[in-house]
Amino acid sequence: MHLNKVQDKIVEEFDAIIGQVKSKFRYLRHFANLGTSFPAATTVERTDDKMIRLTRSRIWLDAAYKDGKVYYAGDSDSSIIKGILMLYIKVFSGRTPKEIIDSDVYFTHEISLHDYLPQHRQNEISSVLQRMRAFAARFKISNLNDNGVALAV
């Protein structure tokens, strides 16, 4: 499924529940519930080298490169951030580095995420996105051939 179709599906899911989560508390509770249902296969070992620095919440993120695609694993000590992280992993895992780097991440705006999050949480989400793109860029660069020409990724 194309990356934008995954984002569209997330937006549709939120459109379906937005009437039910009329308050900020319930909206954020939904992310916390997503965080508790985080698939074990996407969790990461909580080590210092995988931690995203300069965030209030502790966030761990790792990526693997297999068959030309990037697969992410992550975790957080905040259930809200963990739920949002799950959505990012859902959108980006199994994509080529080029798809990830070139993507327009719009689902967060479509579901009004930034309207409900305090600034420090918005900064954390921005850090997650930056780290995911940094992993993708690193994998893309590592696929340069000896002539300095990028292989198709």
Give domain limits for the chain. Answer: 3-142
- Which two structure tokens, joined as six digits, stand for 142? 């590592």
Per residue in 63-122, pLDDT tens?
A: 999 999 999 999 999 999 999 999 999 999 999 999 999 999 999 999 888 888 889 899
Helix (H) or strand (E) holding 69: strand 69-76
Instruction: Report which residue type is found at 148.
Output: G
Give me the architecture of the 3-142 domain, per CATH.
Alpha-Beta Complex (3.90)
Burial of 119 (0-12, 13-18, 19+ CB in 10 A): exposed
Place of tokens 């300095």: 148
- Which two structure tokens, joined as six digits, stand for 143? 């696929």
Which of 10-14, 15-19, 143-147 bottoms out in mean pLDDT, i.e. has the lowest? 143-147
- Which two structure tokens, joined as six digits, stand for 74? 């992550």
SS3 state at 18: coil
